[in-house]
């Protein structure tokens, strides 16, 4: 749907591009052309399969995942769902610096769109799939706050029929405590430790499938096409930079973005991210525990209970190559954070991993000054752009808004009677 792909932008264009053949020198029109085409959403590759989740592309799993994403019963207090923080009408985030669930977290909510393309999830990349990611907040004391035994009971009571249609028979949960799991709550944790291993596995299997259903839903949440993409497509079609789609200020901003401001060093490709982790000297947020970013997360993802090589994954070991490519822990990972997509960025202030900056102007001011990092070493250098140039860059970033591309039903909360009641009433 978002990928009408290159096919409709016929071969004539490629001929036009080839006519400029030769190295694309930065600062030249030729270089700018290549950058525009490579950033265009039309160039986004087809969604790669997720071998770790056998149900990733199963429509019934996505429907179930949609309902689970909005179901507040999957929380310790009956009032938190994924959608509490990831609101579909706010770019699947919440617009506040530090996310609030059962408590307050130490980081800002990230948008969900396009994350099916991310090899590593979270600001520090401590999870290696969407389904493994989804299990984190469910057992975090400050987010959903519940436990996997509680969630297995919710599924058995409210979603049994739909769950079994996708995943097969529900395990027998007789004797499973109402709250039990490897969580911080001491009562739930000791209840978990007292359960026999076979019973723990039965509960964990249901919990894992909750994550896999939610991931099947999230795979449908993608970025829509923006004004910038029309600009790039038209440029590609005609071989000449179009002047009517973006204004002069916006075009000057694009020249800076991929030219002297060096933004495409990290924000590149159709999602405006290299999917890597970098230290950009973002200041600490007062009052939070020390946050070292990527550094501890590399070991974390390798030993994660739910990683691609775990027994809960559906992948063969050779399908988990991302885990092999992980750089060993090094000083460069100190306070390195995931490079966020810049699509729709103007619509989702505040910015950075702990909402340190309230506006895009503040973000650009940071890039312009490139202060020393609070720990580790910032990869930025001062840009020394003028106030007018900063305004141009901001104007360009605003051309990247194109909404969310997803089936309309997935952008709305499911009807209340769909939240498990359907399954219940048929029993």
Tell me which residues in 15-44 interact with ligand HEC (CB under 6 A): none
The minimum distance between CB 18 and ligand HEC, in angstroms, equals 29
**Which residue intervals of 6-117 are DSSP H helices?**
11-18, 29-39, 59-70, 82-85
Count CA atoms within 13 Å of residue 382 on its CB side: 5
Tell me which residues in 186-225 interact with ligand HEC (CB under 6 A): 214
User: Is 343 among the residues that bind ligand HEC (CB under 6 A)?
Assistant: no
Distance CA 109, CA 105 (A): 9
* Tokens encoding 323: 């885990």
Segment contacting ligand HEC (CB under 6 A): 41-49, 50-58, 158-166, 339-347?
339-347
9 or 153: CB nearest ligand HEC: 153
Count CA atoms within 13 Å of residue 295 on its CB side: 14
Segment contacting ligand HEC (CB under 6 A): 230-238, 299-307, 344-352, 398-406?
344-352
Segment contacting ligand HEC (CB under 6 A): 11-19, 134-142, 199-207, 234-242?
134-142
Tell me which residues in 63-122 interact with ligand HEC (CB under 6 A): 80, 82, 84-86, 99-101, 105, 107-110, 112, 115, 118, 121-122
* Tokens encoding 80: 């938190």
Burial (CB count within 10 angstroms: exposed 0-12, middle 13-18, buried 19+), residue 317: exposed
User: Is 259 among the residues that bind ligand HEC (CB under 6 A)?
Assistant: no
Tell me which residues in 381-410 interact with ligand HEC (CB under 6 A): 393
79 or 240: CB nearest ligand HEC: 79
Hey, what long-range contacts does 235-244 have (CB within 8 A, 24 or more apart)? 235/33, 235/36, 235/37, 236/9, 236/13, 236/16, 236/17, 236/33, 236/36, 236/37, 236/40, 236/42, 237/9, 237/12, 237/13, 238/16, 239/13, 239/16, 239/17, 239/19, 241/29, 241/32, 241/33
Question: In which element (H, E) is residue 278 found?
Answer: strand 277-278
- Cross-strand pairs, 336: 293
The minimum distance between CB 237 and ligand HEC, in angstroms, equals 27
- Kindly write out the interface string for residues 299-338 of this chain, putting x where it contacts ligand HEC by CB under 6 A and - elsewhere: --------------------------------------xx
Binding site for ligand HEC (CB under 6 A): 80, 82, 84-86, 99-101, 105, 107-110, 112, 115, 118, 121-124, 130, 133-134, 137-138, 143-144, 214, 261-263, 265-267, 278, 280, 282, 337-340, 342, 345, 351-353, 360, 363, 367, 379, 393
């Amino acid at each position: 749907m978002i990928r009408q792909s290159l096919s409709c932008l016929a071969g004539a264009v490629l001929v036009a591009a080839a006519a400029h053949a030769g190295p694309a020198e930065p600062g030249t029109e030729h270089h700018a052309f290549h950058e525009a085409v490579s950033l265009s959403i039309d160039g986004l590759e087809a969604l790669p399969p997720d071998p770790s989740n056998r149900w990733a592309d199963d429509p019934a799993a996505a429907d179930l995942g949609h309902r689970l994403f909005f179901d507040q019963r999957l929380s310790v207090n009956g009032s938190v769902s994924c959608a509490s923080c990831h609101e579909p009408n706010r770019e699947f985030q919440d617009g506040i610096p530090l996310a609030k669930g059962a408590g307050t977290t130490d980081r800002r909510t990230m948008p969900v769109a396009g994350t099916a393309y991310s090899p590593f999830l979270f600001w520090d990349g401590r999870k290696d799939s969407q389904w493994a990611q989804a299990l984190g907040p469910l057992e975090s004391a400050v987010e959903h706050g519940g436990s996997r035994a509680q969630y297995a009971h919710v599924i058995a009571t409210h979603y049994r029929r739909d769950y079994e249609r996708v995943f097969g028979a529900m395990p027998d949960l007789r004797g499973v405590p109402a709250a039990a799991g490897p969580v911080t709550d001491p009562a739930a944790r000791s209840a978990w430790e007292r359960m026999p291993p076979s019973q723990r596995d039965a509960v964990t299997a249901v919990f894992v499938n909750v994550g896999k259903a939610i991931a099947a839903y999230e795979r449908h949440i993608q970025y829509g096409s923006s004004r910038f993409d029309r600009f790039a497509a038209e440029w590609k079609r005609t071989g000449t930079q179009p002047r009517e789609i973006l204004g002069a200020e916006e075009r000057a901003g694009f020249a800076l973005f991929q030219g002297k401001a060096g933004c495409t060093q990290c924000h590149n490709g159709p999602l405006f991210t290299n999917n890597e982790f970098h230290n950009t000297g973002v200041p600490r947020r007062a009052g939070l525990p020390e946050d070292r970013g990527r550094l501890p997360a590399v070991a974390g993802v390798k030993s994660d209970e739910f990683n691609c090589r775990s027994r809960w994954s559906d992948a063969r070991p050779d399908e988990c190559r991302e885990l092999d490519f992980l750089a060993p822990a090094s000083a460069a990972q100190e306070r390195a954070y995931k490079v966020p997509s810049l699509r729709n960025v103007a619509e989702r202030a505040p910015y950075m991993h702990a909402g340190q900056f309230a506006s895009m102007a503040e973000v650009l001011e940071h890039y312009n000054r490139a202060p020393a990092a609070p720990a580790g070493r910032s990869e930025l250098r001062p840009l020394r752009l003028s106030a007018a140039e900063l305004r141009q860059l901001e104007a360009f970033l605003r051309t990247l808004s194109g909404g969310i591309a997803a089936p309309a039903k997935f952008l709305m909360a499911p009807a209340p009677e769909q939240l498990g009641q359907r399954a219940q009433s048929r029993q």
